[in-house]
Chains A and B, each alone.
Chain A
Amino acid sequence: MTVAAAQIARVPNRSGIWYFVRRNPTLVGGLFVLALVALAALMAPLIAGDPILAKPVNRLRPPSQVNWLGTDQLGRDVWARTVYGARISLVVGLSVAAIAMTIGLLIGLLAGFSRTVESVVMRLMDGLMAIPAILLAIAFVSLSKASVSIVVAAIALPEIPRVVRLVRSVVLSVREQPFVEAAVASGTRLPKILRRHILPATMPPLIVQATYVAASAILIEAALSFLGAGTPPEVPTWGNMIASSRVYLGLAPWTIFGPGVALALVVLAVNLVGDGLRDHLDPRIARRM
């Protein structure tokens, strides 16, 4: 009796939250960091001062109790600008991922099921993919006035082919499966087959891909702002903060510290979430990567 009880006690509790955390440390760790950053971005007015207000008297002050991360060349608070900068990065990351996934999914489903669509669309995608993403985004942004929505569109466009390829490859392998053949044989209509049988199979790899797209979107947005081809300069972003303080690197390294660390941390967290999701959703690949 006592032996049996001890054995039962040793069986791990596979449904508890701590079990999930222990099994998926990267996923939980990444989500935790992202939740903190998102919270900070949402509550920016409560936890940070004015990011725009310039106080020339206070220019290039090192970190202090008033200015946690110091001040920049116009005397603006680096902490406040870093917190507000999180808004742009998160908005761009999320919207690019959502747009690229939606459009890519639609095109990919069509390409996987129609040979005529496939041959045309896949060649177009090859052409788009041959243009390096940052350059395509630069060209797109340079055509019009800088705004957040233009930046989102410019970053989403080069990401679409990657999603299309992924979705198409899943569709091509799933549609050979016996359950799809059975559905076709029993007269199920194509839209229903797509919705009921194909779509669910594309979801796990698509969700993983979405996180990587978000990470790369955040990096490209920062790069565009850094190069002066991004959002309007008066909006604080991590990229334009780094660009405007690079001249003062020797004099005031703290001006780069805030946005630089924030950017690296957020992208790292999104990548960790992606790795964690991949491990969780597809354990077969996980062991090899």
Chain B
Amino acid sequence: MGAFIIRRLLSTLLVMGLVGVFIFLLLHLSPGDPAAIIAGDNATPAQIEAIRTSLGLNDPLHVQFGRWAVRVLNGDLGISIFSNVPVATLIGQRVWPTISLAFTTIVLAVALALAAGVLAAWKAGSLADRLVMILSVVGFSVPVFVVGYLLIYVFAITLRWLPVQGYSPLAEGFWPWASHLILPSIALGLAYVALIARITRTAMLDVLAEDYMRTARAKGVATGPMLFKHALKSAGVPIVTVVGIGIALLIGGVVITETVFNLPGIGRLVVDAISKRDYPIIQGVILLFSGVYVIINLLVDLSYTLLDPRIRY
């Protein structure tokens, strides 16, 4: 077990290192010479060259990478070209709307998907099962922004039940905070629900066919505990795996959802940076999101032993 955790941590470090190399190369390939920007419009080539040397831009690539990696590990993601503010500070200012959105979406989506998947497997072949399956194909096909604008049009513009756009911090009250997150969470979570519900149904179908499920029913375990305590726990490994993989889907969706609903989060930060070609911000955000994704999937791997005691590493 200990050896497995160490091996898994090492491979996680390796993956993050590779992500770092990709992102560093991206920074390196991006157009525009930082030295020329710093030197200003009237600099002579000799002055630019001097700044290049002082910035270390003439060093070999691997030396530059080492220096960059050390800075990143110390939490220095560079400075925004446009606003001259450190990228880490900008991200810190924008982090709460994104965390709020991700949290409400994951909680709502996983709860809904588990319920739908269990129902579909329990009543396999029924109308409810077919409905869940059809909705999961549709939910996977309709893009976040189309669902988003449809929801805004119906619930915010026509019915006026919920605010159209924007964000209200939790500190200013629960309802204003929640009301701004309901529509974005539904739009963002739809594909996630579809993905998890589908896997839950498949995994539950396998478990429900096992002998010990027949035993549980025979000894009189009530339907609810039987489905959710006995069966769902046994079906846990593939479900948790897909919850982890689906985080990638969610991260891509966050960027779009924040744009649709005008939430001032990290996604909006990166979208605004695209039009200004503010590369340090783009790289910092990609690095952050990739790190979150890798860490979540590490936790998923480690959770297998909790879910299925037969799995020993």
The residues of A with any CB-CB pair to B shorter than 8 Å are 123-124, 126-128, 130-136, 138-140, 142-144, 215, 219-220, 222-223, 226-229, 242, 246, 249-250, 253, 256, 260, 263-264, 267-268, 271-272, 275, 288-289
Contact = CB atoms under 8 A, between A and B. Distances in A.
B252 A126 contact: no
Contact of B18 (A127, A142, A275): A127
Interface string B237-264: 0000000000010011001100110000
Given A130-B290, A135-B255, A246-B149, 13 more contacts: A132-B251, A132-B289, A136-B286, A142-B30, A143-B31, A144-B31, A219-B143, A223-B256, A226-B259, A253-B153, A267-B143, A268-B137, A288-B202
A215 B11 CA distance: 31
Nearest to A222: B143
B142 A264 contact: yes
Interface in B263-313: 270-271, 274-275, 277, 279, 282-283, 285-286, 289-290, 293-294
**Taking each of B141, B144, B198, which has the highest tally of chain A beta carbons within 10 Å of its own beta carbon?**
B141
B157 interface: yes
Summarize A's interface: helix, strand, loop or mixed. Answer: helix
B153 A130 contact: no
Contact of A264 (B11, B143, B252, B259): B143
A126 B286 contact: no
B248 A133 contact: yes
A228 B18 contact: no
A142 B21 contact: no
B138 interface: yes
B116 interface: no
Contacts of A219: 143
Contacts of A126: 11, 14-15, 18
A260 to B, nearest CB: 4
B274 A227 contact: yes
A262 to B, nearest CB: 10
Interface in B182-232: 198, 202, 205-206
B103 interface: no
A228 B149 CA distance: 17
A230 to B, nearest CB: 10
A222 B279 CA distance: 22
A216 to B, nearest CB: 10
A143 B252 contact: no
Contact of B149 (A138, A142, A249): A249
Nearest to A140: B26
B22 interface: yes
B48 interface: no
Contact of A229 (B26, B150, B274, B279): B274
B91 interface: no
